[in-house]
Amino acid sequence: MIETVMVGAVAYEPKVVTIWEIMRETFQKENYALDYVLFSNYEALVEALMNGSIDIAWNTNVAYVKVQEKAKGKARNLGMRDTDLDFTSKLVVREDSTIQSIRNLKGKRVALGSRDSAQAAILPSYYLAKEGYNLKLDLSLIRFDTEIGKHGDTGTSEMAVLEAIEKGEADAGAIGCSTWIRLLETGLIRKKNLKSIWTSPGYSNCNFTCLPNFNSQLAEQFTQILLNMDPQQPDIKQMMDLEGLNEWVLSGNEGYHDLAKAMRILKMIERDPQLV
């Protein structure tokens, strides 16, 4: 009997079902028995991976850091999107703002996205602190904590950040580069009269994670099928377009170091982010 590998993912939008139906069919064509389970939040996904209910988790970077901490650094990254490499956060202001750089924010109102979002809250806070700001004394932080548990996947908190800047309710705000690029492509940045004044150092975003006790042969096969996916095939192209990638790639853990440091400072590894 062929062992069925169970992959877990979070259903942050309806398109996730389409993505995973294509993924399951693609793997099955390669004689790899794969099925998937959808979760409502990443904390439940992490718990399912740790207790063995699933074999592989499609994790955000925040979820991956939590898994690595629980697995004592021995969890394995089986692959990620090319767009997950050198992911960045941006600080955005109004086009007519006098704020020219990250060094001009003292005393300003800075909007952040959901507190469990690496790109719109956790890492921007970390990098602001590294710039020398006392987040409680030097800045007036405005938080848009929407859909906690989705780790910012829906992007709703980032849109709230931009709306606050546009309306003059915030002087600056943090969003992820994927949101910035999408709005540039649609012309909304120009329409909203916004500009970026700072881009963070690059970091890694999502990946497929398994624990060290997962069958090594199945792990290798999983990665190889990912890397061999042909975007010229219509169904593969549809899945990649929906998931926001051009190809699957492999990478190490270097891109998660800053996030791990930030999450330790915020004690987000030990506690559920809804309690932070």
**pLDDT tens-digit map of 107-157:** 999 999 999 999 999 999 999 999 999 999 999 999 999 889 999 888 899
What are the tens digits of pLDDT across the range 13-46?
999 999 999 999 999 999 999 999 999 999 999 9
Q: Max Cα separation, the chain?
A: 66
Report pTM: 0.92
89-199 has the same fold as 5-82+204-275 = yes
Superfamily holding 89-199: Periplasmic binding protein-like II (3.40.190.10)
How is residue 76 written in tokens?
């394995």
Q: What's phi and psi for 197, nearest 5 deg?
A: -115, -5
Sequence spans of domains, the chain: 5-82+204-275, 89-199
Q: What is the pLDDT of residues 167-201, one digit of tens each?
A: 999 999 999 999 999 989 988 887 889 999 999 99
- List strands edge to edge, sheet with 140-143: 140-143, 109-112, 172-176, 89-94, 194-199
Separation of alpha carbons 107 and 139, rounded Å: 5
Q: What is the CATH number of domain 5-82+204-275?
A: 3.40.190.10
> Residue 189: what pLDDT?
80
Going through the chain in order, the beta strands assigned E by DSSP cover: 5-10, 34-39, 56-59, 76-81, 89-94, 109-112, 140-143, 172-176, 194-199, 207-210, 248-249
**Contact between residue 212 and residue 73 where contact means Cβ atoms under 8 Å apart:** no
